[in-house]
Amino acid sequence: MKDFFYGIQDLFVDVLFAPFDALRALELENWFGSNIMSWIFMAIGFVAFTYWMLQLKKYNDNNEEDKSVTSHSYL
């Protein structure tokens, strides 16, 4: 059973996290290069935010939403 957990440790440490270790070592030489994953995630977030805002604007321009000022009947 102990070998199973050591196998999982070796998989994550030696294989899956190796690119992140390389990025961490790169930090001393190039700050922008070492933070490339952060830049990629920020770009994805910006594109998703822009897409969402355009979709909301398109929905708002169709005037499909009931914007009458009324409260619930139980109030």
- Helix/strand/coil (H/E/C) assignment for every residue in the chain: CHHHHHHHHHHHHHHHCHHHHHHHHHCCCCHHHHCHHHHHHHHHHHHHHHHHHHHHHHHHHCCCCCCCCCCCCCC
Q: Is residue 69 assigned to a domain?
A: no
Give the number of domains in the chain.
1
Q: Is residue 73 assigned to a domain?
A: no
> What's the pLDDT tens digit per position in 46-55?
999 999 999 9
> What's the pLDDT tens digit per position in 8-18?
999 998 899 98
Domain of 34 in residue numbering reads as 2-61
Check residue 50 and give its pLDDT: 98
- Residues 29-45: what's their mean pLDDT? 89
How much is the pTM? 0.56
Q: Is residue 44 assigned to a domain?
A: yes
Above pLDDT 90, what percent of the chain?
A: 41
Asked whether residue 56 carries a pLDDT value surpassing 80, the answer given is yes
